[in-house]
Structure 1
Amino acid sequence: MDKNLKIVLSLKQQLNSILKKYDDLTQTQLSSYTEKLPEKQKEAINACFNAANCKSSNGRRYTTTWVYECLLMRIKSPKLYRKMRRDNILPLPSYTTLQRYIKKLRPVYGFSDATIKMMGLKVKEMTEMEKHGCLLIDEMKLSEALSFKKSSLQVEGFVDLGEYSTEKDQDKLGDHALVILFQPFCGKWFQTIGAFLGAGAVPGTTLEKIIIEAVIMLENQGIHVDCVTTDGATWNRSMWKLFGIGQKSSSCIHPSDSKRQLWFASDFPHLIKNLKSRIINNKVLDTPEGTVDVSHWKSIIKADSSLQIKICHKLTADHIRPKHFQTMNVKMAFQFFSRSVAAAMEYYKDKVPELNNCEASIAFVKRIDQVVDAMNSQIPKDALRPDPESIHNK
């Protein structure tokens, strides 16, 4: 019993010693201990120490960065957020507190000058190569709706194209959102720099002006825009023509530097989706190796339907007869041209009469699969190259 008492007293002394060291720990010392940690881990540790200095959870104060991180955690997994907060794993603000911070935000349509200036400060610490990137432009369909914002006493939901709005558009309800995003060639970060609300797709003439303004604003902050990427929608092709982009030209003189070129590229996943739709709708596609026939895909599905362990289990009837928004599904388009489809055709070639002459389809699927692998690759070894001896060109 005396031995156990001594152990308890010893542990209490150690605990008191640790608490005393913590009380003596200054912010400078804490910074020296955490300087080698990633920024987000530093933020979490600082939040824990700040929470420990408060007598109750009602007196906690949070940094803006920590609030944003908490908001992202709540969005990704509300259940996990509630558990971490309930068990005090991290000092997370309540839902009410997060909502108060959200109400302080005042998002507006148009370009975000503050965001672009902050990006300019960020790239000052980067190398010249890390400052180069591309603009990604996309539109999405929205439901028409009006809402009254109490903080600004304004009704929101009408068309808002910034300075490009016309008088006839002011009373129209917006149903399309145009988003402009910058992504560097080197690095995993990306940033939305502007959003616009239109009635229908933004016209090509207006889109041309928005792109020029976006490029100039970023270039003025030391960020080099070398490429503009869009899908192949009609209004985007109209914008390409205004920049002089066609079958024989994929670039124009850069708006900020006459010695450089501004390149235009079509969104790769969108091209693969269009290629899949082309084969399904037209039934056949002529290639140098022969005719690619959609019936070859149908034959695989039919042959697999009688097997419990399927040769190509990812290929389903929905790939051939897509429903609703499945035509826009990138994953299904990539699966349509996957290596497993080519392997299934080779396996069934001598077993299913409909697949006796599928060599052209096999070669075509393998080639598209190699292109997809090259475009998805993040290492130079597997990248697409102009070298005819490259593995992806064979």
Structure 2
Amino acid sequence: MIDEIQLTPGLAYDASSGTVFGAPTVPLAEDTLPDGCLATHAIVFMLGGVSTRWKQVVAYHLTGNSFHAKTMKQIIVDVITECEKVGIRLHVVVTDMAGGNQSLWKLFGIVVGKHSKPKVSCAHPCDPSRKLFFMPDVPHLLKNLRNHLTQGEEITLTEDLAKKLKLPGRTVSVQPSKRVVEVDAKADLKLAPHLKEACVQPGHFEKMKVGFAFSLFNNDTAAALRMLVGAKDDEINNTDALTTTWFVETVFKWFKLMSSRTTKLASHFDEQRYKETITFLKGMIDLFEKIEI
């Protein structure tokens, strides 16, 4: 797993090593490193279990506002190689979908786009007979969906999908969820206790927290929306509310499957359930490829 954290630029002296820290350790995107340049971010490399919950930081590099993709690619290969040497088998590289990471994916031959056939793996640098997969960080994807809607934008489903699911409309928006927050603010008994103002109108720091996005795309929120529609709330657009409800329920199910680390959601114990899950996940791929934003 590769993640980025923001730093306060500055220099610091490490007495134990006699070294001054604070300058980038990786060139900028243009493969340059101007004199006096200070690091503004750190790229952290972590290992984690696929089927067990554990995480360990193994390396980090300081960067400016960008990084040189070719240099970062070699660092990733070096980290993988050192791990494989001691018996840790690495199968997947997980990053968010920031611009620098998308450039990094392209260097590994990874292709993901609306108008191209996805290619999500390359030859493993330590064993050409194996594949090294690349995967976007699921919590970041959830936050991206939330950020799009809370910025006042909408998501439009295809007409075919709306007809297939017998949805009353094609538009997904945050407005119905905002109405839930307004109703709950005046009530002692909440429809969706975990849905707060910060979930539908997040500030700078709230946008970084997965919990607020999870509360928005949650079955509790979907149930609250259905309740308002059933109560014939005058302030809610029933057509958009029902379509948004379906989308919230669908994204919630997808997120639970993609972030599961327990056997409770394991589908290999039940062949029928396994087939249904695979069909659902393939449907999500089709949904994400065809929605309009």
The TM-score, its normalising length taken from structure 1, stands at 0.60
| 1:324 match | 204
| 1:267 match | 137
| 1:298 match | 178
| 2:92 match | 227
Spell out, residue by residue over 1:113-168, the C-alpha distance to the aligned partner (whole angstroms, 9 max, x if none).
xxxxxxxxxxxxxxxxxxxxxxx001111011222333433322222349xxx884
**Please, which runs of 5 or more residues in structure 2 have no aligned partner?**
113-117, 163-169, 282-293
Question: 1:1-394 maps to which residues of 2 (within 5 A)?
Answer: 136-161=1-26, 168-169=33-34, 171-247=36-112, 248-287=118-157, 288-289=161-162, 290-351=170-231, 352-353=233-234, 354-357=236-239, 358-383=241-266, 387-390=274-277, 393=280
The structure-2 alpha-carbon separation of the partners of 1:167 and 1:331, relative to structure 1 and needing over 3 Å to count, comes to closer
CA RMSD of aligned residues (A): 2.5
* Higher RCO (Cα < 8 Å, 6 or more apart): 2
Shift of 1:271: 0.1
Shift of 1:170: 6.1
- What is the CA–CA distance in structure 2 between the aligned matches of 1:361 and 1:297, rounded to whole Å? 9
**Larger fraction in helix:** 1
Shift of 1:273: 0.3
Shift of 1:391: 9.8
Shift of 1:324: 1.8
After the TM superposition, list the runs of 4 or more consecutive aligned residues in structure 1 that deviate by more than 6 angstroms.
Answer: none
- What is the CA–CA distance in structure 2 between the aligned matches of 1:257 and 1:246, rounded to whole Å? 21
- What is the CA–CA distance in structure 2 between the aligned matches of 1:362 and 1:259, rounded to whole Å? 44
For 1:367, the aligned partner's letter is T
- What is the CA–CA distance in structure 2 between the aligned matches of 1:194 and 1:362, rounded to whole Å? 42
- What is the CA–CA distance in structure 2 between the aligned matches of 1:262 and 1:177, rounded to whole Å? 24
The structure-2 alpha-carbon separation of the partners of 1:219 and 1:169, relative to structure 1 and needing over 3 Å to count, comes to farther
Q: Secondary structure at the match of 2:226?
A: helix
- What is the CA–CA distance in structure 2 between the aligned matches of 1:320 and 1:187, rounded to whole Å? 33
- Do the aligned partners of 1:158 and 1:172 also contact (CA within 8 Å) in 2? yes
Shift of 1:373: 2.1
For 2:224, the aligned partner's letter is A
Spell out, residue by residue over 1:79-118, the C-alpha distance to the aligned partner (whole angstroms, 9 max, x if none).
xxxxxxxxxxxxxxxxxxxxxxxxxxxxxxxxxxxxxxxx
- Do the aligned partners of 2:192 and 2:221 also contact (CA within 8 Å) in 1? yes
- What is the CA–CA distance in structure 1 between the aligned matches of 2:264 and 2:280, rounded to whole Å? 13
For 1:150, the aligned partner's letter is A
Spell out, residue by residue over 1:168-188, the C-alpha distance to the aligned partner (whole angstroms, 9 max, x if none).
456422221111111132433
- Do the aligned partners of 1:180 and 1:194 also contact (CA within 8 Å) in 2? yes
**Please, which runs of 5 or more residues in structure 1 have no aligned partner?**
1-135
Shift of 1:234: 0.5
- What is the CA–CA distance in structure 2 between the aligned matches of 1:274 and 1:210, rounded to whole Å? 27
How many percent identity over aligned positions?
A: 30
For 2:238, the aligned partner's letter is N
The structure-2 alpha-carbon separation of the partners of 1:188 and 1:170, relative to structure 1 and needing over 3 Å to count, comes to farther
For 2:280, the aligned partner's letter is N
| 1:36 match | none
The TM-score, its normalising length taken from structure 2, stands at 0.79
